[in-house]
Amino acid sequence: MTKSFKEYLSESFAAKKHEFRVKVAGDFTAEQESKLQTMLSRFQVETFKKVGTTPIQALPLDFPQVKNCEVHIYEFVVDYPTTQQELTEYLTQGLEVNRQNLVVRRPGEPYEQYQEPVAKREGALLNDNTYAEAGDPKFEDYYGDKYNSGFVKELNDLLKLERKARGEEIPTESVAKYNIEAPQNNTSPIAKGEGTYMVKAGNGK
C-alpha cells in the first residue's frame, strides 16, 4: 500500500526533536499556563516544564517595549516540526497575549547565550590572552555556506517525499559530463602547449 505524504513526512522527522523556550512578560495565570500546554499538544509535546519566573525588572530582556514586570519562562520539546514565527503567532492569538509580551526562542541560540548570567570578571578584558570570554561558538549552526547547504538539502528531501507520495518517478543523480575536479582536467591548455612553438629571431620571417 502506498504511504501518504503525511506518513512519509512523519517518518522523516520522527528522529528529530524540536526544542523551544517561551517567555511571557507580565501577568500570566495558571489557567493560561494550562491552556499553553493544551495548545502545544498539536505539535506532539514530548516534554514541558516551567523554568521559573524572574523578579520584577524595570527593563526585562527580550521585551524592549515592556517595563516593570516579571517574566514567565517555559521550555518544551515537540516531535512535530514548527518555527519560532509560527509558534509566536499561534500562541499570542490563542492565549490572548499582546504580541510585545511573548517571545519564542531556541535554547542555545546566540541571543539566549548572551542573556545567560555570568560571573563578574576581574581585571581588564584585554589582559586575557586566552580570549576565554569568547567561548566556543559554532556559527556554522546558524548561518553560512554549511547552514545554507543543509537547509537546501532538507527542502530537497521534502520535495522528494512529496513526489514519491504522488507516485512520481524520482530521477537519480548523475555524474556531470565534465568533471573539472578530475586530474586530467586540472592542466591548463596553455601549459600543455608550452615549448611547442618557437619565435624566429631576425628579419621577422
Q: Is residue 101 part of a domain?
A: yes
Q: Is residue 27 part of a domain?
A: yes
Q: Is residue 20 part of a domain?
A: yes
Residue 81's pLDDT band (cuts 50, 70, 90) = confident
CA distance 72 to 55: 10
Number of domains in the chain: 1
Which residues form the domain of 102? 16-107
Q: Is residue 112 part of a domain?
A: no
Q: Is residue 167 part of a domain?
A: no
Q: At 49, is the secondary structure helix, strand, or coil?
A: strand
Please report, for the domain that includes residue 67, its CATH number. 3.30.70.260
Q: Is residue 10 part of a domain?
A: no
Neighbours of 37 (CB within 10 A): 13
Is the overall model pTM greater than 0.75, yes or no?
Answer: no
Q: Is residue 76 part of a domain?
A: yes
Q: Is residue 56 part of a domain?
A: yes
Give per-residue pLDDT as tens, 24-70.
999 999 999 999 999 999 999 999 999 999 999 998 888 988 999 99
Give per-residue pLDDT as tens, 88-141.
999 999 999 999 999 999 877 665 544 555 556 666 666 666 666 665 666 666
